[in-house]
A = this chain, B = another copy of it.
Amino acid sequence: MSIHTTIAPLDRAAMERAKARQDQLTKPAGSLGRLEELSIKLAGITGRLDPRLKDRVVFTLAADHGVAAEGVSAYPPEVTPQMVLNFLRGGAAINVLAKAAGARVVIADLGVDADLPDRPDLRALKVRRGTASITRGPAMTLNEAQTAVEHGRRLVAGEVGRGLDVVLTGDMGIGNTTSAAAVICALTGLDPAEVVGRGTGVDDAGLERKRDAVRRALEVNASSIAKGPLETLAAVGGLEIAGLVGVILEGASRRLPVVIDGFISGAAALVSAHIAVLKELELDPLLDLSLRLGEGTGAVLSLFLLDAAVAVLNQMATFDQAGVSQREGLIIESTTE
């Protein structure tokens, strides 16, 4: 089974124009480091040196995980629906940080194991009430995974009419760092000991249970994992992870910058890259703040860097405009060029 997708290639000509302009701005070439790289990447994604970044939407997708019953999280599963209600009331970290960054928050229920209120600001896209435990078999069927991916795609498509320039990914789901770790191990071949972390903050015994759960999940689902990325997603992933795969694929196919939030979204990005047959993600984290919350908080915090990168590229004076002397003698390689 596969998902039809077309990822737009980077616009190399726009990237060259952006690089040439960066080198003419009144600063040593490369001296704004990753801010320069970011402006060039944004030009490649959007095809523009001055991409519009005004309408930014964080898609925070929620679902429950059968594996949560096995003591892999410091929090009980009922926290998933409680946090969805907190999102809807505006009291969570993602609400506060999105507001500070001028981003809209779209909350969607892809598979929360509870009856949630029927209200327009909660997208009701429940595929099923939580996954089965990945330690005993597949988390969901292939059809369920594909449905969740399609829901994610339609969420993005639906926001375009309201204005959508930047897609940000977010997640909520007690137990979802276990599923995400299983997906990452399955697709990369990395050992659970390298990939599994403390998530929301389990103790040593919980960490060992979590690693063991991932190992068992990889064993019991080995034949599904061997079949491909969508099969892997269905076998050891989660419903919000599948939804985020759709969010990422739809954003990328529309030439929108997609900002990946962290571990859960990273697992979804890895599945997307495998579906799109990209060799590698070529991503480096923009921020390293020891965040481990999810929800989209890291993605939203990085928005200021996107704004800054585009502002530098478009608003700074060139050496010619400013009458500033360039380097003496031959142009030499600088440390970051």
Chain A interface (Cβ < 8 Å from any Cβ of B): 25-35, 74-76, 78-79, 82-83, 85-86, 89, 91-93, 95-97, 99-101, 197-198, 200-203, 286-293, 297, 301, 304-305, 307-308, 311-312, 315-317, 321-328, 332-337
Contact = CB atoms under 8 A, between A and B. Distances in A.
Contact of A31 (B28, B89, B200, B203): B200
11 contacts: A26-B93, A31-B292, A32-B93, A32-B289, A75-B327, A79-B325, A85-B322, A96-B312, A197-B335, A289-B305, A301-B308
A286 B312 CA distance: 20
A27 B32 CA distance: 34
Given A74-B328, A201-B332, A92 B317 contact: yes
A168 to B, nearest CB: 14
A201 B31 contact: yes
Contacts of A101: 304, 308
Given A27-B93, A31-B292, A201-B337, 15 more contacts: A26-B91, A29-B201, A30-B292, A74-B328, A74-B332, A79-B325, A82-B322, A82-B324, A83-B324, A198-B334, A201-B327, A286-B289, A289-B305, A301-B304, A301-B305
Number of copies: 2
Contacts of A89: 317, 322
Main secondary structure of the interface of A (DSSP, over half): loop
Contacts of A316: 91-93, 95-96
A325 B77 CA distance: 9
A98 to B, nearest CB: 10
A32 to B, nearest CB: 6
B93 A25 contact: yes
Nearest to A82: B324
A181 to B, nearest CB: 15
